[in-house]
Amino acid sequence: MKDHEKYLHRCLELAALGIGFVSPNPMVGAVIVHQNKIIGEGYHQKYGQPHAEVNAVNSVFLRQLNAEELLKEATIYVSLEPCAHFGKTPPCSDLIIRHQIPKVVVGCRDPFVQVDGKGIEKLKSAGIEVIESVLEAECLELNKRFFTRIQKQRPYVILKWAQTQDMFFAPENGSKQWISDAISKKLVHHWRSEEDAILVGKNTAAADNPQLNNRYQPEAKQPKRIVLDRRLELSHQLHLFDQSVETLVFNEVKTALEGKIKCISLEDFDLFLPQYVLFQLYLQDIQSVIIEGGAKTLKLFIEAGLWDEARIFTSKARWGKGIKSPEITGELKSSITVGEDELVVISNKKS
């Protein structure tokens, strides 16, 4: 079992390289082992491109002269159950069967209805030995975004804000005043490259004129932008409307497409707004979203219980007055120092 865990750890390392590029697919890594030696490995690199198992098998053929013979005596380790259906690529379970790989070690099952045990059953029916649930908790954690979208029909929701030592979120007069330091800001920009979208409310868009992009890694994938603007009152001179990336504007006035600006009219802005927004994002294949504010918008999702984790920076500054930070309860996942700030991550076990 220790060897199984060692190779599954490598699968997880490989899978994580796909973060930000494979959504709405899961991140998957695969390692092929022959006589306790890795002879091939791969991961799902980009949505629509070959899956991890395909890349791993291909790497064996690139590295080994007698690839076919080695595969017939090898074990393939995969962090997620091999798929059994035709999507953008052929089924990976068929690939394993075709190359007569005799043993498959799987981290966790795939909850997607077209897979969910079908890949494992197909492998077993072909006479292949399948070992399941190795490092299952770690594999589930890696793909928490994917599992949330499939099982709850909504994106994985990350709340993010910065607050002062005395728990203030923003100035009372609506002016722009930074709380977190430069190192924290750089980390936030990196997070943006890992998630599908960022959401803000109208007041934050108007007051801060945010770009909601990753300016430290311009070559990285940029998130989609989402804004709640009930009556479509925001100026189109704001950065949000620069047509650089797809921007969704939830409102009660109209549904229309204007270049990369997509206006989506909702049934009701007074009742169940977080639910309506998240279901629409699910329909748009958005697997994860960072909600960056303002306080009213964050409070909406907190009160609805529609969040999965909160990332909160606390600076050493004290303001004495201002708009109070949101209040949140959950399970503390981590607490670290980032630059001059403290960063805590809280998990919502009830979501």
Two structure tokens written together for 231:
């009556």
Does 126 carry a binding-site annotation? no
Does 204 carry a binding-site annotation? yes
Does 3 carry a binding-site annotation? no
Pair 216, 186: CB distance under 8 Å: yes
Two structure tokens written together for 90:
């052929």
Q: Mark out the alpha helices in 202-272 (DSSP H runs).
A: 202-208
Count CB-CB contacts under 10 A for residue 125: 10
Does 314 carry a binding-site annotation? no
* Angle at the Cα of 319 from the Cα atoms of 313 and 320, rounded to 5 degrees: 125
Does 139 carry a binding-site annotation? no
Does 11 carry a binding-site annotation? no
Identity at 111, one-letter amino acid code:
P
Catalytic residues: 53
Does 205 carry a binding-site annotation? no
Does 318 carry a binding-site annotation? no
Pair 13, 29: CB distance under 8 Å: yes
13: left (phi over 0), alpha (psi -120 to 50) or beta: alpha
249 strand-pairing partners: 227, 263
240 strand-pairing partners: none
CA dist., res. 325 & res. 170, Å (int): 8
Does 34 carry a binding-site annotation? no
Two structure tokens written together for 339:
């630059």
Strand bridging mode 129-131 / 247-251: unpaired
Query: Exposure pattern of 137-147 as b/e (b: 16+ CB <10 Å)?
Result: ebbbebbebbb
Which residue has 């979501």 as its token pair? Answer: 351
CA dist., res. 138 & res. 167, Å (int): 34
| Relative orientation angle of helices 2-16 and 52-63, to the nearest 10 degrees | 100
Query: Exposure pattern of 281-290 as b/e (b: 16+ CB <10 Å)?
Result: bbebebbbbb
Q: Which residues are annotated as a binding site for Zn(2+)?
A: 51, 83, 92
Q: Which residues are annotated as a binding site?
A: 51, 83, 92, 162, 178, 192, 204, 208, 212, 215, 292
Q: Which residues are annotated as a binding site for substrate?
A: 192, 212, 215, 292
Q: Which residues are annotated as a binding site for NADP(+)?
A: 162, 178, 204, 208
